[in-house]
Amino acid sequence: MEAEKKKQIRVWCDGCYDMVHFGHANSLRQAKALGAYLIVGVHTDEEITKHKGPPVYTEEERYKMVRAIKWVDEVVEGAPYVTTLETLDKYNCDFCVHGDDTTMTADGVDTYHLVKEAGRYKEVKRTAGVSTTDLVGRMLLMTRQHFYRGQREYEVGKEGSSTMGQDSAARSPWTGCSQFLPTTQKIIQFSEGKEPKPGDRIVYVAGAFDLFHVGHLDFLEKARAEGDFLIVGLHTDPVVNSYKGKNYPIMNLHERVLSVLACKYVSEVVIGAPYVVSADLMDHFKIDIVCHGNTPIQPDSETGEDAYGIPKKRGCFKFLDSSNQMTTEKIVERIIQHRLEFETRNQKKELKEIAAFEAMKKSQLLNGEA
């Protein structure tokens, strides 16, 4: 009886889902666990710009990214910024779920106040150590230590200018980040934990998959179509840096693992995969086909050999054209080109969150809750 009741529960989540990362995915995973069918409303660019500042991803990109998260059953495009009872009723949702941080309109109003007052709101724990604000800050800074936060790694620069991106992410009570600390439990929660079935055609791809974006998504969809079980090899941070240079990757290995595992096309992830696709690797995972996108393949930095030489010799290598030209570098370019807009966005967001947090703490003290 209880199982039947749970099957009927429809859950609503909404948000910007800008630069969709594993924190968003973890929130949606927890929301799905509270019911049987998860509907996610995604706001338009216009609404986000009005209340929060310009988004990094376009609304079409954000719709596509959210649809690809494996716990999402349905996406509602252009969802209103303030969640109403009418919205919940329109989609036959029992309640709304959000993280334990406060989201506000441009006027400082809690976007969930209506569903909270009606008792149709549930909270899940926000994923510590990551936020869109934090990722934007990393790209604005692009320092060697951009994924080690919380100790003022980006303190006042040598030239005496304040590192705005760090400050705006570091001081906020909700979106301020300390270093992300991975656990085996989190990986287990994100992983399907399934093995290939007998007769499954196993596909292997490898790369950085940094700042998981629509280009990655379209490529993985194509790769999954080549077989039944898709394994993604993720290179270590030093290896990624060796072929991408500058201060890449933006996200560290553990963050990239969770971002890729949240994708519905991915069956398994090899954490810290070797750059060269060896015979041992192929035989161990019983790989039938190895795929790569249209991006250039650099030879191994140590030996100079073709990283895909073995699968090519075996006749099981294939280039895939996803027809999507998006790259991690292009996303970074978006941030850099609109630096002032994003710095202002981060600063305004921080100030609103600090004010709301202080008001909440004051209320708790007055009510004797602290």
Helix (H, G, I), strand (E, B) or coil at 104: strand
Do 104 and 83 share a structural domain?
yes
Q: Classify residue 327: in a domain, yes or no.
A: no
Number of domains in the chain: 3
Q: Classify residue 99: in a domain, yes or no.
A: yes
Give, in order, the Cα–Cα distances in Å from 349 to each of 39, 65, 169, 173, 179.
26, 23, 9, 11, 20
Do 140 and 58 share a structural domain?
no
Beta carbons within 10 angstroms of residue 297's beta carbon: 12
Output the pLDDT for position 42. Answer: 98
Look at residues 261, 258, 237 and name the one whose alpha carbon lies nearest to residue 249.
Answer: 237
Do 239 and 136 share a structural domain?
no
Residue ending a domain, among 124, 140, 164, is 124
Is 174 a residue whose pLDDT tops 50?
no
Q: Classify residue 297: in a domain, yes or no.
A: yes
Do 224 and 170 share a structural domain?
no
Q: Cα(82)–Cα(104) distance, rounded to whole angstroms?
A: 9
Q: Can you tell me the mean pLDDT for 240-254?
A: 90
Percentage of the chain modeled with pLDDT above 90: 58
Look at residues 44, 134, 120, 132 and name the one whose alpha carbon lies nearest to residue 89.
Answer: 120
The pLDDT-based confidence of 129 (bands split at 50, 70, 90) is low
Q: Classify residue 324: in a domain, yes or no.
A: no
Residue ending a domain, among 86, 102, 124, is 124
Through-space distance between the first and last CA atoms of the chain, rounded to whole angstroms = 40
pTM for the structure as a whole = 0.81
**Dihedral sign, Cα of residue 213, residue 306, residue 232, residue 146:** negative
Do 167 and 71 share a structural domain?
no
Do 80 and 16 share a structural domain?
yes
CATH, residue 248: 3.40.50.620
Residue 241, token pair as written in the block: 């840096």
Do 213 and 297 share a structural domain?
yes
Percentage of the chain modeled with pLDDT above 70: 78
Output the pLDDT for position 199. Answer: 96
Output the pLDDT for position 151. Answer: 35
Do 196 and 98 share a structural domain?
no
Q: Classify residue 328: in a domain, yes or no.
A: no
Output the pLDDT for position 181. Answer: 63
Q: Can you tell me the mean pLDDT for 41-53?
A: 92
Look at residues 336, 228, 262, 307 and name the one whose alpha carbon lies nearest to residue 65.
Answer: 262
Do 208 and 279 share a structural domain?
yes
Q: Classify residue 333: in a domain, yes or no.
A: no
Output the pLDDT for position 266. Answer: 97
Contact at 8 Å (CB) between 127 and 21?
no
Q: Point out the least confidently predicted range of 60-69, 119-128, 203-212.
A: 119-128
Q: Classify residue 111: in a domain, yes or no.
A: yes
Contact at 8 Å (CB) between 42 and 79?
yes
Check residues 40 and 341 and name the one with the higher pLDDT. 40
Contacts of 70 (CB under 8 A, 6+ apart): 192, 262, 263, 264
Do 227 and 174 share a structural domain?
no
Residue ending a domain, among 124, 149, 168, is 124
Is 156 a residue whose pLDDT tops 70?
no
Q: Classify residue 330: in a domain, yes or no.
A: no
Domain assignment of residue 163, given as a range: 132-179+338-366
Model pLDDT for residues 317-336, shown as the tens digit of each residue: 999 999 999 999 999 888 87
Do 243 and 360 share a structural domain?
no
Do 241 and 147 share a structural domain?
no
